Structure 1
Amino acid sequence: MTRTLYNRLGELKGITKLVDDVVNLHMENPHVSPRFIPYKDQPDRLMTIKQHTVHFFCAGAGGPQEYKGRDMVTTHKGMNISEQEFLAVVDDILEAMDKNKFGDEEKKDVLAILYSLKGGVIRI
């Protein structure tokens, strides 16, 4: 039986750790930190964003979690996210995956998911 991406990423626990690491990297990344730093003063809002991200990622990776948040277009509409910002986010995700010792197959699968979402994120 083939393991899903969800299984290979460590299921809920592994994906939660990955999202925490990604958000921490976003806070330090000069290309995207202006969008994330304001949430440092809003810990409840930041926790909600992380929870939605975890559930979105789990559901997209084949996990049993149901994502009940907004779709990508609705979430990012009016944010005018640039290609550079999108790539910075992708870089942070790959760095967090390296930190958590995920392999090339997992990174390739995550990249495929990220690029499938690109049109619903950039400049909408």
Structure 2
Amino acid sequence: MNRLSLFALLFCTAVASDTRADDSLYTRIGGLPVLQKITSRLVDRSSTEPVTKRSFNKVNLDRVKEKLAEQFCVLAGGPCTYTGDDMKLVHQGLNISEREFYGLVEQLRQVLDSEGIGSREKNELLALLAPMKPQVVHQPTEP
């Protein structure tokens, strides 16, 4: 292999490595500005929708938006630090039902769709959030 071929191979490998390293969910979604927009729209919507609004009563919505954006950023592989409280502690006493939880999940899906987030990214984000269900739901399924 001559030097030019070796250089070309090394260059292509380096470019491919950089592309993969920057292929985080955070980057593919559009970074913190997009995550902040998504969480803001989600909280605004969830705090007014009949299925979910009860659990947002007497809650500082601006703080929820901020902490949720931090959490999404961390989960998506972004450079943020989550500075909020433990999920179980935050939701303790709110008596959130499975119906409310799944209502919020559906609202998140709709917000992600309306923001043009791709299926791959949407599914990855939802999969990262799903394990939090036991920390959020503190009430059995309603009949």
TM-score between the two structures when normalised by the length of structure 2? 0.77
Question: Structure 2, unaligned stretches of length 5 or more?
Answer: 1-19
Q: Tell me if the contact between 2:70 and 2:82 (Cα under 8 Å) persists in the aligned partners.
A: yes
2:47 pairs with 1:27: yes
Q: Tell me if the contact between 1:76 and 1:120 (Cα under 8 Å) persists in the aligned partners.
A: yes
Question: Which of structure 1's runs of 4+ aligned residues deviate more than 4 A?
Answer: none
2:133 pairs with 1:113: no
Q: Tell me if the contact between 1:11 and 1:63 (Cα under 8 Å) persists in the aligned partners.
A: yes
Shift of 1:56: 1.1
Q: In 2, distance between residues paired with 1:24 and 1:53?
A: 12
Aligned in 2, Cα 1:71/1:38: closer, same or farther, shift over 3 Å? Answer: closer
Shift of 1:37: 5.0
Q: In 2, distance between residues paired with 1:110 and 1:28?
A: 23
Q: Tell me if the contact between 1:90 and 1:114 (Cα under 8 Å) persists in the aligned partners.
A: no
Question: Structure 1, unaligned stretches of length 5 or more?
Answer: 40-44
Q: Which stretch has the larger CA shift, 89-98 or 49-58?
A: 49-58
Which secondary structure state, in structure 2, belongs to the residue aligned with residue 63 of structure 1? coil
Whichever residue aligns with residue 53 of structure 1, its letter is L
Please give the residue correspondences for 1:1-124 in structure 2 after superposition, counting only pairs within 5 Å: 1-2=20-21, 3-36=23-56, 38-39=58-59, 45-123=60-138
Shift of 1:74: 1.0
Shift of 1:110: 1.5
Q: Which stretch has the larger CA shift, 23-32 or 99-108?
A: 23-32
What's the counterpart of residue 4 of structure 2? none
Q: Identity over the aligned pairs, expressed in percent?
A: 33
TM-score between the two structures when normalised by the length of structure 1? 0.88
Whichever residue aligns with residue 103 of structure 1, its letter is G
Structure with more contact order per residue of length (Cα contacts < 8 Å, sep ≥ 6)? 1
Aligned length: 119
Give RMSD over aligned pairs.
1.5
